[in-house]
Structure 1
Amino acid sequence: MFHDRTQAGRLLAGKLEPFRAERPIVLGLTRGGVPVAVEVARLLDAELDVIVVRKLGAPGSPDFALGAIAEGGAVYVSHEALRDVGVGDAWVEAVGVREGAEIARRIQAYRGGRPLRDLTGRTAIVVDDGVATGATALAAGRAARQRGAARVVLAAPVIAAASQPELRSEFDAIVAVELPEVFFAVGQWYERFEQVSDEDVIDCMHRASAPDGARELERIEPPPHPVD
């Protein structure tokens, strides 16, 4: 059990210490992965950016991910899940257009419209606050490959053991503090698991990029508040 995303990020950074020599770029998966990624980047003395991903929720059950789409157009879809709920490629395309508009909005909010940085030849560490099915992580990994990353690592405080086989098809390494066989929801692994807002993401990035931010970021976990 983790206290919050900040503490989880510090524990995760310890597991990622072997990657320090590769001078990785840490990519916080928006939105919940960003507070974790800030701690990882700070403790590894690594560059930090965000990667914007939206899951493709099932009709009538938006929390059930049939896939995900990342900035740059990288898409992951579970064809088995599509068959189970009775939707096809036309549905994926329609939802992808809608979520693509939200991705564009978030890129403008978080990075002023700047695309994901060029990752050519670099090690990219994709960081989330937890991985259940792996849909958003897989889309993020593909986006990092599209930007030229030579090596893509998935890191999260908790990753469902059952998701590892498919994750290994996309990532060169998977790093977690906990790999439970029984997994119900990411939030069950945290004492504090408030939603992370756009404003929280922007604040995290601003504080992390401040000249003395690496020394002052003792705690960036956002305070609890309602989020739509």
Structure 2
Amino acid sequence: MLFYDRQDAGQKLAEKLIEYKNNPKVIIVGLPRGGVIIGHEISQVLKTPLDIVVPRKIGAPDNPELAIGAITEKGQGIFNEHIIQAYNISLDYIDQETVKEQQEARRRLKIYRGNKKPLDLENKIVIIVDDGIATGSTMQAAIASIKNKRPRKIIVAVPVLAQDSIPKIEEIVDELIYLKAPPLFMAVGNFYDLFAQVEDQEVINIIKKHSS
């Protein structure tokens, strides 16, 4: 295993981002739920604000863990045409799941953020973080959402990612920072000793802490 848990991974990733410490232009944006844990650890080290973006994975029929795409609460969608064609997935299914997951993204964002207003990302250096990247669809949707906020620079930082996701991310951001890209990548959780599901309340508590 590469990391003990998400806290460990976040602390190690923060070391790679230390040049951004105490920079008032930097904002960390985490993907719930695991990415918020990573983001919290980084923000503690860098002394920077933390916010969230909530893309939702769209899973394949009968295999929800296989991402065929992702959607944000605003409707920015990313789809993997190769997987869609390989599994002969119908447009009706895609449309139905897109509507469902967009609604879920809105619901979760409201729960997580509460009355907290989103941070102003215009002309900021935004570091988008997650606990890992497999297919890249969810991160690509997050990037599309952040780009609409007109930041000065977008950096994606993750502890671990699949090698074939590297070019997908690098071509749409200013910088990609990662600790490991193993040649054999099955699932993000395989690279952690402890990879328990993060509960909504933990995310809510972290966001509240950064609102005070």
Shorter-normalised TM range: over 0.9
What is the distance in 2 between the residues matched to 1:114 and 1:173?
28
Q: Tell me the TM-score normalized by structure 1.
A: 0.86
Paired residue secondary structure (2:56): strand
Shift of the alpha carbon at 1:147? 1.6
Q: How does 1:46-85 map to 2 (within 5 A)?
A: 46-85=48-87
Identity of paired residues, percent?
35
Could you say which residue in structure 1 is the equivalent of 2:3? Answer: 2
What is the distance in 2 between the residues matched to 1:146 and 1:93?
23
Shift of the alpha carbon at 1:152? 1.2
The partner residue of 2:143 within 141, 144, 149 is: 141
Please say if residues 158 and 179 of structure 1, whose CA atoms lie closer than 8 Å, have aligned partners that are also in contact: yes
**4+ aligned runs moved over 6 Å, structure 1:** none
1:120 aligns to 2:122 (yes or no): yes
Q: Which amino acid aligns with 1:169?
A: E
Paired residue secondary structure (1:73): coil
Shift of the alpha carbon at 1:71? 2.6
1:24 aligns to 2:26 (yes or no): yes
Q: Tell me the TM-score normalized by structure 2.
A: 0.92
RMSD: 1.7
The partner residue of 1:86 within 88, 96, 107 is: 88
Closer, same or farther in 2 for the Cα pair 1:192/1:141, shift >3 Å? same
Please say if residues 107 and 113 of structure 1, whose CA atoms lie closer than 8 Å, have aligned partners that are also in contact: no
Q: Which amino acid aligns with 2:130?
A: D
* Bigger Cα displacement from structure 2, 186-195 vs 113-122: 113-122
What is the distance in 1 between the residues matched to 2:25 and 2:16?
15
Shift of the alpha carbon at 1:204? 1.9
Please say if residues 22 and 123 of structure 1, whose CA atoms lie closer than 8 Å, have aligned partners that are also in contact: no
What is the distance in 1 between the residues matched to 2:124 and 2:149?
10
What is the distance in 1 between the residues matched to 2:24 and 2:114?
28
Could you say which residue in structure 1 is the equivalent of 2:166? Answer: 164
What is the distance in 2 between the residues matched to 1:182 and 1:22?
38
Could you say which residue in structure 2 is the equivalent of 1:155? Answer: 157
What is the distance in 2 between the residues matched to 1:44 and 1:5?
17
Shift of the alpha carbon at 1:209? 4.0
What is the distance in 2 between the residues matched to 1:176 and 1:205?
24
- The total of aligned residue pairs comes to 210
Which structure 1 residue ranges, 5 or more long, are not aligned?
211-228
The partner residue of 1:110 within 109, 112, 115 is: 112
Could you say which residue in structure 2 is the equivalent of 1:217? Answer: none
Could you say which residue in structure 2 is the equivalent of 1:226? Answer: none
What is the distance in 2 between the residues matched to 1:140 and 1:113?
21
Shift of the alpha carbon at 1:74? 1.5
Shift of the alpha carbon at 1:118? 3.0
